[in-house]
Structures are given as structure tokens and as C-alpha cells.
Structure 1
Amino acid sequence: MKRLLSMFLIMAFLVFAVGCGVGVSKSEGGVAGDYEVTEDSKGIADDNLVPKTDSDFSQDKIIRNGKIDLFTDDYQNTVDKITSYVTGLDGFIQSSNDGYVDSNKLAYGSSGFMVVRVPSVKFMDSMEEIKSYGRPTDSSTNTENITGTYKDLESELKSFKIEEERLLTYLTKAEKIEDMLTIEKELTRVRTEINSRASILNNYDKLVAFSTITINLTESKSATGNIDSPFSDFGLKISSGFAASINLMLNILAGLILILIRLLPFLIIVGVALLILWFFKKKNRK
């Protein structure tokens, strides 16, 4: 009897020990699992709270323009420098205009303007470089963010392309001539809208990729840079003056003759009237 009681106690102890071990394992596993889930959730939350960096805004569509008014001592040399610099950046001269004058007669020499296009990433560097080629009197810059407009046009373009594909599908299934004509008319309209938006987007891409700088150039010179002698070409000036005087006298004489010819009919009438009057006076005296 004692032996059976001892065996029962031993078995009860073993069952209790095994049950406690399993409970501890489950508890530890549950805690570990909860901890791992918490860490994952925390990681996701932290990712959502990370602020955006500059690279996240790199898709913004920004058009940059600048203007520079520049005085220079050598107009053509400055034009050559600007041209060389811009082409070295893989930019280009969009338009230019030169106005050449006799720099010996005026305080300012040649003048003109240039409209250049430079890569947008080099816009501010280009402004500073070009200003260093002379004496800037005025400069300005402006930017236009067209990101919203650009995205709207992209969405419209995508919608029209989807509509084009749908119309092409309808066209392949159409059996009546009138249905085909109707679909082709609508297809022409949609393709016109696609080309219009694609053209605008392409132009925006160019304006964003290459900034525009307008440069007004004026050549200046020192007031004492040249001495003009009043006796230079003196003989030519005398002969020119003499010829001008003769021409003036001849013009006056020709004018007087022309006036007399125009007054001749009136003079004849007045002369006849005076002759008649003189005749009657002479007759009355007798």
C-alpha cells in the first residue's frame, strides 16, 4: 500500500513539473512574440514620421529666368567671351542683336543684346560669371514653379491616350460604315488633344532643363580717350562750305525767277490797267 502511494506521489510530482515547464515556455514565447510585433510596429511608425529630404522634391518643375545689364570696354570681346562660356556649358545662343556705331563720335560705342540658354543646374553660376565680364548696372532673376500645371497636363495626356486605345478597339469591332466614320472623327479629335498636350509638355521640359538669361550689352569709353582736331580735313571743309554757299545763292535766284514767272500774269494785268489810267489822265489834261 505504501509502495502504491509513493508511486502515485512521484507520478503527480512529474506531471506537475512538466506542466509548469510548458507554461513557462508558452509565457516566454508569448512575451517574445509581443515584443517583436511591437518593435515592427514601432519601426513602421518611425518610417512614416521621417521628414522628406531635398531629393524627394527633385521632381519639381521650375522655370528660371535672369536679366543682366552690362557695361563693357570692348563690346565684341565680351560677346565672344559669353558665347564661348555658354557653349562650353552645352548651352546655346537663342538670339542676339548688334548695333554698331562710330565710337569716335559718341560717348558710348556699340550696343546690343543676347538671349542665352544654360543648363538650369548652372543658372546662378552663369549669372555670376557673365556679370564678371563687365560692369553690371542691373540684374534680376525670377522663378516659376509649374509642377502642378505639368502634372495636370500629364494626367490629361494619359486619359486621352486611354481613350485613344478604347476608340481603336471600337474601330476594329465596328461593322457599319457610319459607325467607323463616327469613331474615326472622334479619334482625330482625341489625337489632336494628345499632340497639343505632348507639345506643351515638351516645351516645358526644355524651359525647365535650360534656363534663360537676357543680357543687354553697352560699350562705354572714356571721354578723353580720343582728341578730335577742328583742323582735320580743313581744306575739305572749306571747299564744302564754298560749294554750299554757291548752291544757296543759286537756289535763291531760282526761287526769285520762279516767283516772277508765277506773278507775270498779274503784272501784265496791272501794267495794262496803269497804261489805260495814264492815257485817260493825259487826255483830260488836254
Structure 2
Amino acid sequence: MTSRGIRFAGLVALSALLLTGCSMGSGGSDQTASEPDVNVEAPADGGVAPRDEQPFTEDEQAGSIQEDRSVITTGWMAITVDDPIDSAAEVAALVRSADGRVDSRNETPGTDTQQARATLVVRIPADRFDAVLADLRELGDVDSVRLDASDVTQQKRDLDSRIASLETSVDRLRALIAQADDVGDLIAIESELTTRQTELDALTTQRDWLADQVDYSTLTVELLSEGLAPQAGPNDFWSGVVAGWNALTAFVSGLLVAVGVMLPWIAVLAVIAAIVVGIIVIASRGSRGPRGGAGTTGSGADPSATGVPAPTGGGAGGAGADGNGPA
């Protein structure tokens, strides 16, 4: 066979091998595409996938997040009612019927110059807060409402984590106390245990208070009566005279009352002032007496009493006048 024939035969053989490989690849691809997955069960017509394979909807995710939140709700509410005292009793009854409690209650009866009012601070279960608020609106005319919400979820989680860590630490220290043989180690462990237990108790109290604030919303309810009508002023001459006379009478009455109140004090102060003046007068007279006596004695004293002879004359002239003296 010539070289040209050999080349031709090689080309034919290579073409046959390429065609065979392409046909096998196509057959394998069709088979793979046509074979169903035996490990996955196809849902029935019109059906849905099993529950485990379905993702959570947005509403379910929001509900899950809402349940995990810790929110403290506080509010203030002002209502105008006919009788604040009776309405305060109704508010307390509504709160107690909702398993709540009244923390404080202050009532002020009405007078001629002051309207009646009542103020209550109530604690309402958080899940029944809206229902109680709707019942309170029925008591009268709502003047104003203010509600505040504070999210303390992170604070609560932090407290839970710290409490869990301290509880574990306290348990370990108690185990070490049971195993300690040395007195020094025992004292050191007990001191550390006391410190950790004190911190644990403080955090537990804080968490309990926080849980109470979350579980029971705080609402301040202020009940007011209708405002007092202002008195009409004078609108003519005689009504002005009467108003002036009434004002004068009221002023004189008030002045007399003030004088009556001050009169006992004035009398006591007058007695005290008289006593002080008398003491000053007596003291001044006593100081003047000794001074006058001393002056009289000094001026009228006998010179001979001092042992010094009294002079009979002045100087040399006196000596010359004496007849017994030298010439």
C-alpha cells in the first residue's frame, strides 16, 4: 500500500472515532435529562411542598421578632368627668377587673374656688392595656392622651447573660469550697463567693424589676371636673359702689384679723421692753451715786487729816507778818 493510501485510511478511522464519541455524549445527556430524581418526591397537582421545605413568610418572621421584644409602656391620660371622686372608684374597679393594681390615688374635693380632681397611677397587664384604655375613654370627655414605649430587649438579654455567668461562677466556687483543704484558700474562696453572690442578687433584683415594668404598663389617669364659671364684674355705678364697699369691708376684716393675731405678741413684746428699760434705768442710777460721794469728800476734806499743816500765809510776806519772827 502506498503512503497516500495509508494517510487516507488513517483519516477515515479518525473520523469514525469522532462520530462515535459525539453520539455517545448526546445519548448520555438525554438520559440524564429524562431521568427523574428518585430522592425527591414531587408534590401532587395543585399541592404545596412539605412544611419543612417552605421558608417563613414575612408576617411570621415579624411575629417572631415581636414576641422576643421587651417593651415598657407608660402613658398619661386626662379625662373631664361629672364627678372625679366617683369616677376614680370606677377607674380602680376597671383596673382590678383586668388583673391590674392601683399604685397611688389622690382625690381633691371641689370647693367654691377650686374644681374637684382625682389622680391615679395604675399598673395594667401589657396584653390588656389597649382594652382598659378603651374602657377608660368611656368615662367622660378625653382631653389628652400620651403614650410612650421604651424597648429594653437588649438590656434584658444582657442581664440574662450576666446572671447566667454569675450563677455558673457561684456554683463553681461552692464546689471549690467543698474541696478546699487549706484554711487560707477556704477564706479566699468564701470572700469571692460573697462578692459574686451579692452581685448576682443585685442583677436578679434589677431583672425582676425590669420584667415587672414590661409585664405591667404604667398609666397615670387624671380626672377633672368642669371648670368654674368666672364671677361677673360690676357693670354700672351702683354695682361698682357695692363692689368697692365689699372690698373695703373685706380689707378691714382682714386687717382686724391681722391685728388680733399680732396683739398677744405685741403685749408680750411690750412687757419685755418695759423690763429691759427698767433694768437700764436702775443700772444708770447706781453708777451715778458713788461718783457724787467721792467728789464731795475730796473737796470738803480737812487738810489736817492728811498730816500736812495748812499754810497761814503766802510766801515771805506771811513770815514777816508774824511778830515772833526775826526782824
Structure 1 residues without counterparts, runs of 5 or longer: 1-26, 225-229, 231-236, 263-286
1:73-88 aligned within 5 A: 73-88=82-97
Partner of 2:217: 211
CA distance in 2, matches of 1:244, 1:130: 50
* Local SS of the residue matching 2:69: coil
1:81-160 aligned within 5 A: 81-102=90-111, 105-106=112-113, 108-160=114-166
Structure 2 residues without counterparts, runs of 5 or longer: 1-30, 44-48, 231-241, 243-248, 275-327
CA distance in 1, matches of 2:101, 2:181: 54
Report deviation, 1:219: 1.9
2:59 aligned with 1:56: no
Is the 2:74–2:217 contact (alpha carbons within 8 Å) kept by the matching residues of 1?
Answer: yes
Deviation string 1:42-61 (CA, Å, 9 cap, x unpaired) is: 96994456443454131321
Is the 2:115–2:228 contact (alpha carbons within 8 Å) kept by the matching residues of 1?
Answer: no
1:150 and 1:136, CA in 2 relative to 1: closer, same or farther beyond 3 A?
same
Partner of 1:266: none
Letter in 2 for 1:185: S
Greater Cα shift, 126-135 or 51-60 = 51-60
Partner of 2:12: none
Which has the bigger relative contact order, CA under 8 A and spacing at least 6?
1
Please report the TM-score for the alignment, with normalisation by the length of structure 1.
0.62
1:65-80 aligned within 5 A: 65-80=74-89
CA distance in 1, matches of 2:134, 2:203: 35
**Greater Rg over alpha carbons, structure:** 2
* Local SS of the residue matching 1:117: strand
2:193 aligned with 1:187: yes
- Identity %, equivalent residues: 19
CA RMSD for the aligned pairs? 3.8
Instruction: Answer 1 or 2: which has greater strand percent.
Output: 1
1:25-64 aligned within 5 A: 31=35, 34-37=37-40, 46-48=53-55, 50-51=57-58, 52-57=60-65, 58-64=67-73
CA distance in 2, matches of 1:167, 1:39: 58
1:214 and 1:37, CA in 2 relative to 1: closer, same or farther beyond 3 A?
same
Letter in 1 for 2:85: Q
* Local SS of the residue matching 2:115: strand
- Count of residues in Structure 1 that have an aligned counterpart in Structure 2: 211
Please report the TM-score for the alignment, with normalisation by the length of structure 2.
0.55
CA distance in 2, matches of 1:67, 1:35: 65
Q: 2:205 aligns with which of 199, 206, 221?
A: 199
